[in-house]
Structure 1
């Protein structure tokens, strides 16, 4: 038999070794091909549109981490997908996981690539160009069918194939912003959040804008959010105050957006969570990035954990922290409309922090919460075993490592079991 001192340190060496192996599997540096992948290319045939459609899909890296079981994520549908896929998926990643951020949730991003952009993204058919008076050389007015494709074909495809939850955000720029507003008034239950970036509300000589304004006045949109970004498309001599008195076609775009935004802002009784911003330093082409950033922050003010310092404070009281976590995720669940449990990885990190501080009772409290919330996940039992092992209770540790393997296979519990049994046999 090993002395208790030596036995304990042999086991601590084992747990450190196997815990490092687990950590390496959580955050792989690169794929086997030495490439960094942010998404995949998918396609489906649309009976509604009579053509094959391509989408680029970003799934959060945490979905690939099997240590904490399966997760589902809110989903963001993005028009003009090839133009905005990299920036939007990167922005969400930055705001949701990097540097301890919990500003917005991790999301699946579905970027829809174009085939016939003008046809798909415009709500009405127009024959005459609003600006020139000449005949329009491109197709238009297929917006209704395109939204039917999203509703009846694309969304079911995504929900069947990817780990998404029933909470959706719709984002579009220019004609895409027009499509977003078309979805809001014609299919208000299809998405939770609508982001219209410098929308082309001049379309059809403002006919759609006036229709949308009327519908938004009449109907109720409780639980829905809309954000509009307006770019600076004026001449240097104009301001957003003076441009409204202009009557030239060159300012119709910004005048339409300002008129619409101010009108929607005045509608206080329709229940719509609405905000908009004029970006004086951005053109029609540069405004998407900053609008998306502001819009996401506007739409998820309830997602950030307000007492984030409490999580990382080594002296925080375990019960107070548990209560804060329960309150926060109760609020998040109410906003999403479905139960959202505290992420197992977050709770596990708190447990290990307490364990390293030798606050074993507190550590067990958090590991037990994970077992309660994720009883079918092997790793939560393994972590509980690590805590018993750190306390020097090898028999209880052995019990939980064994339980971990009974729940599901993993690569880290059996070596610990072997180390414990080997030490006991000496």
Structure 2
């Protein structure tokens, strides 16, 4: 890990736009997400078993006290690689370490994700079982979420992501069950369903309900707004009255409604060159960045400038810690551990030992069970020719991990 962070710092600013360097310096995406568990529970509500996967954060340690926000991804096995690609590239500056949960909707998808029963759709008979969204919501609220919370170190800060019918499900969750999630990403949702029934319901709910503290990102795939008329564009689609443009018109109308709901933190984006099937990737990327805009680090240039006084850095870190703690509802470090470590090494390289010590010390305080944090502090003391303290921290790293690497480092240092 030490060399991974060291390379990260050499690339340039660890808090600038070049965030992929953090995620992929020495590890492939697959290796990053090695903490993947496939599980299932039998649902009394559904009367069947339901599969899901869980991806633990890259810094997860079983004996650590750190707790994490959670992302729930509907159609989890279909969109797993999409979420993985986005999260693997943007955690750190843009996104916190989080637990990811992918829920299977491979069986009875239309039943589980649609909000009402229908027999006809777009002028044709519709033979699928429908209208089970409330039942599936009950499964998530009473069975799946409690199971995840009991088994993994979570906090009650949840994000829900859904595409198409799952986007309809996501909007329904916000409109009718907003207590379960803080954040929502609805990807090209089917809001035309059942003669816009959910849209009409939202018009009434938005007048009465309190959505303060809730955030929603909605996308519209606009490459083909009308399957039979290519002259229909985003500029004139609202003047069309055919059923073929109703999906797009429903999303636009809902977005206008959501934008007028002052308590709701809302954003919509039209993807002009994307189809319904291609829009999940850019939506998840843009949606997560929007939802966690408050998380993005403030004044990165000051952290990268050797002229910034240490007192100012400490003040900025305290401010960042306060922002994170207020949003998550639990004490939260001002930086992920990889960045605390990275800034420590960067300042060592720049000949600023006092700042380096501050970052390493903060990393140990925030991550007292991290062998890597103690190893980094040992390197700091080695750079200061303080063999006694270097050995002290190396011994602590070895005590925590039992790894031969630290034992060999101790032996080598003793020979000097």
Q: TM-score, normalised by structure 2?
A: 0.84
Give the aligned partner of residue 299 of structure 1.
291
How many residue pairs get matched? 394
> SS at the partner of 1:62?
coil
Give the equivalent residue in structure 2 for 1:4. Answer: none
Residue 156 of structure 1 aligns with which residue?
146
CA distance 1:47–1:395, shift in 2 (3 Å): same
Cα deviation for residue 393 of structure 1 reads 2.1
1:363 is the counterpart of 2:356 = yes
1:120 Cα shift?
A: 0.2
Matched, 1:325 2:320: no
Partner residue in 2 for 1:3:
none
Specify the alignment match of 1:260 in structure 2.
254
Inter-partner Cα distance in structure 1 for 2:138 and 2:128: 21
CA distance in 2 between counterparts of 1:110 and 1:238 reads 38
2:47 aligned to which of 45, 50, 53:
50
Q: SS of the counterpart of 1:302?
A: helix
Change (3 A) 1:135 1:409: same
In structure 2, C-alpha distance between the alignment counterparts of 1:34 and 1:306, rounded to whole Å:
30
> How far is the alpha carbon of 1:82 from its aligned partner?
2.5
Decide whether the 8 Å contact of 2:2 with 2:372 is kept in 1.
no
CA positional deviation for 1:185? 1.8
Q: Given the superposition, is the C-alpha separation of residues 22 and 309 from structure 1 closer, same or farther in structure 2, using an over 3 Å criterion?
A: closer
Aligned-pair CA distance for 1:376: 4.2
RMSD: 3.1
Structure 1, gaps ≥5 residues long? 1-17
2:104 maps to 113
- Asked if structure 1 preserves the Cα contact closer than 8 Å seen for 2:6 and 2:345, the reply is no
What's the CA shift for 1:210? 0.4
- Residue of 185, 188, 199 corresponding to 1:198: 188
The 1:188–1:420 alpha-carbon spacing in structure 2 relative to 1, beyond 3 Å, is same
CA distance in 2, matches of 1:34, 1:144: 37
Structure 1 residues 151-179: Cα deviation after superposition (integer angstroms, max 9, x where no partner): 11111222233343321111111111110
**CA-CA distance at 1:241 after TM superposition:** 4.5
Counterpart-to-counterpart distance in 1, 2:236 and 2:155? 45
Q: What do residues 85-104 of structure 1 show as CA deviations (whole Å, max 9, x unaligned)?
A: 1011211111225xxxx122
**Per-residue Cα deviation, 1:224-260 (whole angstroms, up to 9, x for no partner):** 0111112222232123443323322222212222222
Q: Given that residues 351 and 367 in structure 1 are in contact (C-alpha distance below 8 angstroms), is that contact kept between their aligned partners in structure 2?
A: yes
Q: Distance in 1 between matches of 2:31 and 2:395?
A: 36
Aligned residues of 2:33 and 2:55 also touching (Cα < 8 A): no
> Whole-Å Cα distance in 2 between the matches of residues 290 and 34 of structure 1?
23
Greater radius of gyration (CA) = 1
> 1:391 and 2:388 equivalent?
no
- Cross-structure match for 2:19: none
Q: CA deviation at 1:323?
A: 2.0
Instruction: Give distance in 1, aligned partners of 2:314 and 2:167.
Output: 42
Question: Residues 102-251 of structure 1: matches in 2 within 5 Å?
Answer: 102-114=93-105, 115-126=107-118, 128-132=119-123, 134-232=124-222, 233-234=225-226, 235-251=229-245
8 Å contact 1:58–1:89 — kept in the other structure?
Answer: no
Please, which moves more after superposition, 181-190 or 336-345? 336-345
**Unaligned regions of 5+ residues in structure 2, if any?**
8-23
Secondary structure, in 3 states, of the residue corresponding to 1:150? helix
The Cα of 1:27 is off from its aligned counterpart by: 8.0
For the structure 1 residues 309 and 184, does the alpha-carbon distance in structure 2 shift closer, same or farther, using more than 3 Å as the test? Answer: same
Task: Give the Å deviation of 1:379.
Answer: 4.0
Q: Deviations over 1:96-143 (max 9, x none)?
A: 25xxxx1222332222122101110011222x31421x5431111111
For 1:369 and 1:238, how far apart are their aligned partners in 2?
57
